[in-house]
Structure 1
């Protein structure tokens, strides 16, 4: 598929900046107003605020390159590079041609645009570039968001300018064009190994959320890596800094020190801080350095629970060590623009959790004592994974989002009672206050075991995430489905 555009702006207002999409996903044509007077012209070649507002990715360029072409007919390409670029013309004219060399349905799709100073094109990584100078002394310039290096060039993907399957109608026939020796010998499209998509890295692969993410992303993302402590150990920041983050565009941190009671013990506080705060600082630094979208999981423990319902904008008021570390991590993650924080409560997933424990006690005919003065809603790890996937796939605004099941606020006693009811257990659940429960535990031989303070109210307001088009699942329906898997 080929599209030929011209430098005459297609916008009805050529004196205004405009951006149009093309048949190649992510390849955008920008029409740049030229402000002329008797001396020549002036243009805003890169204007972050205006361009991003119109839909250009905020691609954070770090290097500006220029290509001077002494004679008409100088032709370069096709080179697919491991970075994004914004190409424009300083003087003269070119034919720009792009072929999608990325793995996927759009592989081989072609777009051509004749360009002068009034046009620019945003080229996402993995799309092959080809350019032919149409006038002597043509200079074009491009901003890129990675520094060039010989090592980076080794990850280019190439295709042949003369490939009839690509089918670019070069204004100056290639037989009369000036090309490099390397460009003459690039492979035909049929021989090209497609450019791999950017990688998604998930930390905490063996945890409840990590397992849910692996089950989901393995079918929806062709280039996801799920890492455990053997690769990245959050107690050892050097394993974060030493990992190869090139080619990663999304990092999901599903790892944390989540033993809220153990975090209160003096011997564990440093470890909780190392995993939940110090490691997160290193992850934020990595994300900023490589422009990676960082997804981080937060907790209702960042609040003291005095409000019955918590919004994303509530000020932090943690009561214990775990809550303090999670609040500190949220502040760190928020310092990087490209972040999603998903705040959860009462997580249930694969492995040890409250619901699984109650189901086991019910099966053994044991009647547990459960607190009835802590209130909230369950959050199933599969739903957290689905929410993450939704935010990333839809390009929802960066920021913090609450996620839990939908439905009425309940107590832990209510949930335990419902588990016994749904499993047909013969026993029953005994309600008790938090203070009474702690007194009972102390009386059963564990007077010195630290216990973290719990928020009384953990219900999360779900308005913000539903406004993105995500529909949280009904809590009772999810509970039934989960129990059926045990």
Structure 2
């Protein structure tokens, strides 16, 4: 059986689908919707949940222009229509118009925010559409409507609107100049109060950014008030990160509640609303035996924190539209190793720093930019490792770099082993090698700044 073909239009995201129609002396047959074939060709996997069918008794029935808060896949079962679409989303393509004639051999994918209208060209025309959300009483309040005959649109209706059959509602819609543009869906950032969360807020100024006080993964009920229909992607920068406290009975429960159970609730929300989910993870999912960790390395966490992060990664991977972004040694706006070393250097203190654990720093501005790159570039879903680039260093090497940049001798940093540093302290086990392979994310076209350059800029 021949496959459909998909063609872009002048409206971003509006796609025309040519459908093979197989006819014989009995009539004809077509596959109107075939998920695997169509998504393989580039149609969004929009997850329809409802099918609606409109029978139009006469030629000249004209319906629209409506932009409801859902995606549509529109097609004709019998008869022919003149279709018109207007981009009503805010942005540079606002007001752009596409028109074409449709019969059973053609369908159109209409993204959320694009106004849809049609005029029947034959009596007895049957027009159908799949949608990925159910109608609710507030749907009209969340929709945008435009006047069918607005001269600004320049739609050349085959049957003049003065001779067409229209509803009272469709004759009363405002012109484009007075219509309400559809807001683009925004990213939702969870954990907006942390180092990465603050960097994401700076990188995505229009994001809905929620702190733990506003949305706590350990309390799923705090997620219920979010208007998920207006969210375009979820970025989970929230986590229980108290590595040492996680080894205590209370900390163990708290770590599992946030990093596993809470993440599981988030995955179900992403699945229900078919939202891409970015989940930030950690090098602690590995035991550090390998000198460099690839994305496909099996989990081997040493402590409770690492165990919960590994379990969270596994839960996130059950949703196909996911990015697990593993990172290490994060440096941002807040308390972190680099800030602590800079303070000690400025105060004249000479610290003892571990010299037998190895990795690379990750500056939050580059981590945030990498997350946006994955979302915006259309990179394949899956797991990606992301730190800054450059040579692998020990913690003591980095401390010495900070001291040197602060005008102190490198030798003012004493070097000790992990065993010496941990002696007499209740500390969780940590991986010896935290270095993450960057090859996969670099292959997507993301250029990662060297850690040394970012450190130098931070200390200047």
Whether the TM-score (by the shorter chain) exceeds 0.5 is: yes
- Superposed CA RMSD: 1.2
Distance 2:4 2:227 in 1: 38
Of the candidates 415, 433, 450, which is equivalent to residue 417 of structure 2?
A: 433
2:228 is paired with a residue whose SS is coil
1:333-390 per-position Cα deviation (integer Å, ceiling 9, x unaligned): 1111111110001111110000110111111111110111101101111111000111
Does residue 481 (structure 1) correspond to residue 457 (structure 2)? The answer is yes
The equivalent residue for 2:300 is 317
Return the offset for 1:243.
Answer: 2.9
Q: Shift of the alpha carbon at 1:99?
A: 0.5
* Equivalent residue, structure 2, for 1:193: 180
Asked if residue 88 in structure 1 is aligned to residue 75 in structure 2, the reply is yes
Counterpart check, 1:308 vs 2:308: no
SS at match of 1:201: strand
| Bigger mean CA offset, 258-267 vs 377-386 | 258-267
Which 5+ residue runs of structure 1 have no aligned equivalent? 1-13
In structure 2, what is the equivalent of residue 470 of structure 1? Answer: 446
TM-score by length of 2: 0.98
Q: Deviations over 1:202-250 (max 9, x none)?
A: 11111000100011111xxxx4111112321222111123433222121
Q: Is this contact kept in 2: 1:249–1:291, CA < 8 A?
A: no
SS at 1:310's partner residue? coil
Contact 2:193–2:212 (CA<8 Å) still a contact in 1? no
Q: Render the CA deviation track for 1:303-362: whole Å, top value 9, x for unaligned.
A: 000011101111101010100110011011111111111000111111000011011111
Q: Distance in 2 between matches of 1:353 and 1:224?
A: 25
Counterparts of 1:1-80 in structure 2 under 5 Å?
16-80=3-67
Q: Which runs of 4+ in 1 moved over 6 A?
A: none
In the alignment, which residue of structure 2 is the partner of 1:424?
A: 407
Match of 2:313 in 1: 330
Shift of 1:415: 0.5
Match of 2:236 in 1: 253
> Does the CA contact (< 8 Å) of 2:360 and 2:388 recur in 1?
yes
Q: List gaps (5 residues or longer) in structure 2.
A: none
Distance 1:290 1:241 in 2: 13
CA distance in 1: counterparts of 2:121 and 2:202, whole angstroms: 52
Which whole-Å CA distance do the structure 2 matches of 1:101 and 1:302 have between them? 45
CA contact (8 A) 1:377 1:459 kept: yes
Deviation string, structure 1 residues 112-132 (Cα, Å, up to 9, x no partner): 010000000000000001110
The answer to whether residue 88 in structure 2 is matched with residue 101 in structure 1 is yes
Offset at residue 473 of structure 1 (A): 1.1
1:396 matched residue in structure 2: 379
Q: May I ask how many residue pairs the two structures share in their alignment?
A: 459
Q: Distance in 2 between matches of 1:290 and 1:117?
A: 30
The match for 1:8 is none
User: What is the TM-score normalised by the length of structure 1?
Assistant: 0.93
Residue 177 (str. 1) matches residue 160 (str. 2): no
Q: Distance in 2 between matches of 1:213 and 1:15?
A: 45
Aligned-partner SS, 1:351: coil
State whether structure 2 residue 142 is matched by structure 1 residue 155. Answer: yes
